[in-house]
Amino acid sequence: MKIDILTLFPEMFKGVFEESIIKRAIDEKKVEINIINFRDYTNDPHKKVDDTPYGGGAGMVLTCQPIFDCVNDIKTNDSKVILLTPSGVPYKQKHAYELADEKHLIIICGHYEGFDERIRTIVDEEISIGDYVLTGGEIASMVLVDSVTRLLPGVITEASHKDDSFNNNLLDYPTYTKPRVYNGLEVPEVLLSGDHKKIEEFRREESIKKTREVRPDLLGDD
């Protein structure tokens, strides 16, 4: 998969994709990530990419020209163009799986007070990562890229994400490792029993209990 991220702050991405699983995925060519500064596409002699809003109001608005020209330059028939904005559709794990099937993602990071409404005409999807406001789409794009990359074939074993929280609308069951007793805290007996059926039942029950406690909305009974 190829992912192009359009941003005015390429420096923010330094390091983020250079560690751990994402780094390995890039090194093994399972994903290609390009950070593109769309200021490079502006026709303005002063390199401006924003302007004041028609009708008045606070702040600056991203103009159409640099983003239209940049997307035009890199878009192919296989591209999906995503705009990151707090007014987008709430991002969910199901969405991550869908995006992981795409060949080419173009991710536009919004910034400042907003963007010219006409930018929406060149976008396939608008996504928000949650009900709070960030200063820009950069951190949201890192969230998106991380959550999609780990689902690409061969990046982590399928067993590692098949039990993830949110698959089957349930949060993760609790896991334990050695030692058996730590500071008087014991590992549940059933996990030491070797009875796989019982272990599976225990995990499912714990998943449901946890979900009911903290995310009843996922069970549809909040």
Active-site amino acid positions: 86, 113, 150, 164
What residues contact residue 34 under an 8 Å CB cut-off, 6+ apart?
2, 3, 4, 5
Looking at the chain, which runs of residues are DSSP E strands?
A: 2-7, 32-37, 50-51, 61-62, 79-90, 104-109, 114-115, 125-128, 181-182, 185-186
Q: Nearest approach, Cβ of 134 to ligand 6GU (angstroms)? A: 3
> Count residues contacting ligand 6GU (CB under 6 A)?
13
Residues of this chain, 55-94, that bind ligand 6GU according to CB under 6 A: 84-86
Alpha carbon distance 125, 91 (integer Å) = 11
Could you give the string, one character per residue 121-140, with x where binding to ligand 6GU holds by CB under 6 A and - elsewhere? -------xxx-xxx-xx--x
Q: Determine the length of the chain.
A: 222
Of 50 and 203, the one with the shorter C-beta distance to ligand 6GU is 50
Nearer to ligand 6GU, 128 or 149 (CB): 128
Binding mask 92-121 for ligand 6GU (x = CB under 6 A): ------------------x-----------
Nearer to ligand 6GU, 124 or 201 (CB): 124
Least distance from ligand 6GU to the Cβ atom of residue 130, Å: 5
Pairing of strands 104-109, 79-90: parallel
The torsion of the CA quartet 217, 173, 16, 98, rounded to 10 degrees, works out to -60
- In 63-103, at which residue ranges do the beta strands (DSSP E only) sit? 79-90
Q: How far is the CB of 152 from ligand 6GU (least distance, A)?
A: 21
Shortest Cβ 195–ligand 6GU spacing (Å): 44
Pairing relation of β-strands 61-62 and 50-51? antiparallel
Write out the residues near ligand 6GU by the rule CB under 6 A: 84-86, 110, 128-130, 132-134, 136-137, 140
